[in-house]
Amino acid sequence: MKTAIKIICIVAVVALAVMPTTAVAMRSSPDAEFERAMKKGAQARLEIRVVDDEGAPVSNATVKVLFNVLTPGGGEIVTAATDTNGVAVAEGKTNDAIRYRVEKEGYYKSEDGMDMYNMSHRYDVKGGRWQPWGMQKEIVLRPVRNPVAIRIPVNDWRTAKDMYKWLGFDLLKYDFLPPHGNGEYADIELRFDWNGKRFKGYEGIDQHIRFPHKYSGAYYVDRSMQSDFKDVYRADSNAVYQTEFDFYEHPVYDKKGLMTRRDTKELGSSRALVVRSRCKMDDEGNLVSANYFLLSNLRFACADDGACLIYQGVFNPTPNDTNLEPK
């Protein structure tokens, strides 16, 4: 009996000895540090390298970094300048996100940022510091070159009431041709395929674009989303200009008739269309002149009175001038 009591006592003493150690381990675990950082914040250090669009470092650029803290009046802005290697260093406390904006005379401003935690990724915390300590980020400053193109005023959504018909559209006037609007030249033709139902019985909408004139067309370009100037400087006159484009939104329903998702094809905000239009030919049918546009943020929608579109555009009024950098 005494032996049994001794064994129990020894086990109890061992258990007590282990418990504090386990508690300390829990308090210093990566998850525990991360939770503390999300509540009270942790220090972060950024090394931001600023380059131009050819990859060369940009010195003496001003970098403003917001270390955001989700508390009343939280957050701080740290300002730094890039050195001869184009690098600026900033430190601050955050429990949410970091945003930074870069500017220098003669360049378009650029901005970017990072969330310390989102659904797909989180940064680790060690010793009260976000890891890696000295995160390296690169951002591009695009130089101002020769802004001559004009911006097409964004008026409002333009509505087509006739479905399943090709309608002429003037990109410069931002309107359909008569009798549907006051446009004067059909840079493109649009056709909306839609049954007119927005809710019950909605089967989706298809939007078709075609270029009716010889040598007219467009091609896709990627946009520089960090920069205030997001688009290409010039159109490529030797590019392959596509004459037809199709976009759509198709709902997918379950067996109960509930929409589960939408299958879409759209231009989106990260791409643009470089357009060649208003082409003139010589007597032998060879292209002698054209005007160039850039269309971005092209969107379509359904409304009570018809199908609609809206876009942002840039136009160079000088024939054969491919410069698309807006004033």
pLDDT given at position 122: 86
Fold category of 31-143 in CATH: Protocatechuate 3,4-Dioxygenase, subunit A (2.60.130)
* Domain residue limits, the chain: 31-143, 150-316
| pLDDT given at position 86 | 97
* Strand 135-140, strand 42-51: pairing: parallel
Q: What pLDDT shows up at residue 133?
A: 95
pTM as predicted: 0.83
pLDDT of residue 30: 67
Query: pLDDT averaged over consecutive 10-residue blocks of the chain (327 residues)?
Result: 45 40 46 88 95 96 94 86 97 93 98 88 90 95 96 87 95 94 96 89 92 97 96 97 96 89 91 98 96 95 90 96 96
Which pLDDT belongs to residue 39? 87
Scanning the chain, the segments in alpha helix (DSSP H) are 2-27, 30-40
3-state secondary structure of 17: helix
Query: In the prediction, which pLDDT does 9 show?
Result: 44
pLDDT at 24: 40
Cα–Cα distances in angstroms (integers) from residue 283 to residues 212, 213, 214, 218, in the given order: 19, 16, 14, 24
Collapsing DSSP to helix, strand or coil, 43 comes out as: strand
